């Protein structure tokens, strides 16, 4: 019979909270450590587009595709998850020809379809300057990652949220046995680092390298407006979606770029692009957010155990990946089964 494991998760963004939910369900006792209860830092500044088309060597595609389905596996038990599977219209994809995107992904089974100007107009009647053809992918989705993190955290069984920070990890006989906090040590059978961009600093306290190269990401948000956009839309230099509260969120790049350097003028530029992309004069700028994307140096997720007692989960595209990573990491932590989907994402790739 399996012993109950005590798990300490550092970070309650979308990754840590999804892990708490799945580990709690598997019979673990979980302590979730985070000074904030907002649902994450990057998670609160994320575009939240759930897809398997972005930055895709084949193993990453398969992980992302698995993770997309993992969200739908959560929905029956968590109907409040702010997850909408409304699909994406690709009118343009940041310099990558749409034909290349189609040719790469459809042999893997990704359901891209070509759509004509009439179909584009039916999908998004308020989009100006529809191209001669575009791609549509109906299984892609939108999520609000910080809200999802809070839903997952609040529903997590056998989980206690302690509102404080880990300051370092504690080692004994070569294994990690917990973390130090300003209120004293917390011990655990397994400590999980899910602290987003702060993961590297915590890992450094036990000489584990987690090389990150975390670019900024600027998004603009409008005031709530009438329904104008039904899907995630990618156009020339702009990605946009309308959220359930009626606000429209838009960004100008997926990984750094000059638009982020001066957010005041970058956000004005983005708002101008948004206004000229849509057939409406009712848009009102509300505010911008500037997030930092927790991105490993090679762009790929870092998931696995570099040392006894320690498990690391840091990645970009956590909005897409969190539910899937939570399932796969839980299987590895509780049953010792490392799924082949995780093969190329082990932290040891940086030390080998
Ligand atoms: C602008 C932008 C757009 C994005 N767009 C997309 C997208 O469209 N699709 C997609 O899939 N992904 C997207 N991402 C990436 C995605 O949002 C992130 O990968 C994901 O939110 C990371 O979640 P996380 O839980 O690892 O980190 P975070 O959300 O940053 O959470 C980490 C948590 O750790 C806590 N913490 C930090 N240090 C400590 C400590 N010492 N002790 C205790 N707690 C600590 C923090 O308080 C925080 O709550 C985007 C990100 C940004 C910034």
Residue 20 Cβ inside 6 Å of ligand 1? The answer reads no
Residue 291 Cβ inside 6 Å of ligand 1? The answer reads yes
Query: What's the rounded Cα separation, in Å, for the pair 123 and 144?
Result: 22
pLDDT, one tens digit for every residue, the chain (352 residues): 456 799 999 999 999 999 999 999 999 999 999 999 999 999 999 999 999 997 689 999 999 999 999 999 999 999 999 999 999 999 998 888 999 999 999 999 999 999 999 999 999 999 998 899 999 999 999 999 999 999 999 999 999 999 999 999 999 999 999 999 999 999 999 999 999 999 999 999 999 999 999 899 999 999 999 999 999 999 989 999 999 999 999 999 877 667 778 899 999 999 999 999 999 999 999 999 999 999 999 999 999 999 999 999 999 999 999 999 999 999 999 999 999 999 999 999 998 6
Picking from 147, 142, 213, 144, the residue whose alpha carbon sits closest to that of residue 12 is 147
What CATH number corresponds to the domain at position 250? 3.30.9.10
Query: What's the rounded Cα separation, in Å, for the pair 104 and 83?
Result: 27
Residue 15 Cβ inside 6 Å of ligand 1? The answer reads yes
Q: Are residues 227 and 343 in the same domain?
A: no
Query: What's the rounded Cα separation, in Å, for the pair 45 and 220?
Result: 10
Residue 159 Cβ inside 6 Å of ligand 1? The answer reads no
Look up tokens 């939240």; give the residue.
Answer: 48
Residue 77: inside a domain, yes or no?
A: no
Q: Are residues 241 and 334 in the same domain?
A: no
Domain count, the chain: 2
Q: Are residues 193 and 233 in the same domain?
A: no
Provide the residue range defining the domain that includes 159.
Answer: 6-47+146-211+296-350
Q: Are residues 245 and 285 in the same domain?
A: yes
Residue 53 Cβ inside 6 Å of ligand 1? The answer reads no
> Ligand 1 centroid vs 42 CA: distance in angstroms?
3
> Ligand 1 centroid vs 127 CA: distance in angstroms?
31
Picking from 69, 29, 216, 50, the residue whose alpha carbon sits closest to that of residue 142 is 50
Ligand 1 pocket test, candidate residues 16, 37, 42, most atoms within 8 A of CB: 42
Q: Which two tokens stand for residue 93?
A: 């994809």
Query: What's the rounded Cα separation, in Å, for the pair 183 and 188?
Result: 16
Burial tier of 172 (Cβ tally within 10 Å: 0-12, 13-18, 19+)? exposed
Query: What's the rounded Cα separation, in Å, for the pair 238 and 195?
Result: 29
Tell me how many degrees the CA angle 190-196-16 measures, rounded to the nearest 5: 45
Cα Rg, the chain, nearest whole Å: 20
Residue 65: inside a domain, yes or no?
A: no
Query: What's the rounded Cα separation, in Å, for the pair 158 and 334?
Result: 15
- Burial letters 187-209, b for 16+ CB under 10 A, else e: ebbbbbbbbbbbbbebbeebebe
The residue nearest atom 13 of ligand 1, judged by CA position, is: 317
The residue nearest atom 18 of ligand 1, judged by CA position, is: 318
Query: What's the rounded Cα separation, in Å, for the pair 347 and 352?
Result: 9
What is the structure's pLDDT at 254? 76
What is the structure's pLDDT at 83? 98
Look up tokens 């000059």; give the residue.
Answer: 258
pTM of the model: 0.97
What is the structure's pLDDT at 2? 55
Residue 165 Cβ inside 6 Å of ligand 1? The answer reads yes
Residue 270 Cβ inside 6 Å of ligand 1? The answer reads no
What is the structure's pLDDT at 256? 64
Q: Are residues 220 and 107 in the same domain?
A: yes
Q: Which two tokens stand for residue 82?
A: 């702010």
The residue nearest atom 22 of ligand 1, judged by CA position, is: 318
3-state secondary structure of 40: coil
Q: Which two tokens stand for residue 145?
A: 């990652």
> Ligand 1 centroid vs 269 CA: distance in angstroms?
25
Residue 306: inside a domain, yes or no?
A: yes
What is the structure's pLDDT at 1? 43
Residue 145 Cβ inside 6 Å of ligand 1? The answer reads yes
């Amino acid at each position: 019979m399996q012993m109950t494991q005590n798990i300490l998760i550092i970070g309650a963004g979308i990754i840590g909270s999804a892990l708490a939910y799945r580990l709690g369900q598997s019979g673990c006792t979980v302590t979730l450590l985070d000074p904030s209860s907002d649902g994450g830092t990057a998670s609160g500044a994320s575009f939240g587009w759930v897809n398997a088309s972005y930055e895709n060597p084949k193993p990453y595609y398969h992980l992302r595709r698995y993770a997309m389905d993992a969200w739908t596996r959560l929905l029956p038990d968590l109907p409040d998850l702010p997850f909408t599977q409304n699909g994406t219209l690709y009118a343009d994809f940041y310099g990558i020809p749409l034909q290349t995107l189609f040719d790469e992904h459809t042999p893997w089974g990704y359901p891209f379809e070509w759509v004509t100007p009439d179909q584009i107009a039916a999908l998004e009647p308020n989009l100006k300057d529809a191209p001669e053809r575009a791609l549509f992918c109906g299984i892609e989705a939108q999520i609000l990652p910080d809200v999802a993190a809070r839903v997952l955290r609040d529903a997590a069984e056998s989980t206690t949220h302690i509102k404080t920070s880990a300051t370092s990890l504690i080692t004994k006989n070569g294994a990690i046995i917990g973390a130090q906090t300003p209120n004293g040590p917390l011990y655990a059978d397994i400590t999980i680092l899910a602290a987003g961009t702060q993961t590297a600093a915590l890992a450094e306290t036990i000489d584990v390298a987690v090389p990150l190269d975390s670019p900024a990401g600027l998004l603009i948000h409008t005031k709530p407006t009438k329904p104008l956009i039904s899907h995630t839309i990618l156009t020339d230099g702009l990605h946009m979606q309308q959220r359930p509260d009626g606000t429209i969120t838009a960004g100008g790049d997926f990984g750094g770029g000059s638009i982020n350097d001066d957010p005041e003028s970058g956000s004005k530029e983005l708002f101008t692009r948004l206004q000229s992309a849509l057939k409406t004069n009712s848009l009102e700028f509300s505010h911008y957010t500037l997030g930092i994307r927790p991105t490993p140096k090679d762009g790929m997720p870092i998931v696995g155990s570099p040392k006894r007692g320690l498990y690391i989960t840091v990645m970009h595209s956590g909005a897409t990946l969190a539910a899937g990573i939570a399932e796969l990491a839980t299987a590895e932590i509780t049953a010792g089964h490392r799924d082949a989907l995780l093969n190329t994402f082990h932290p040891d790739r940086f030390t080998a």
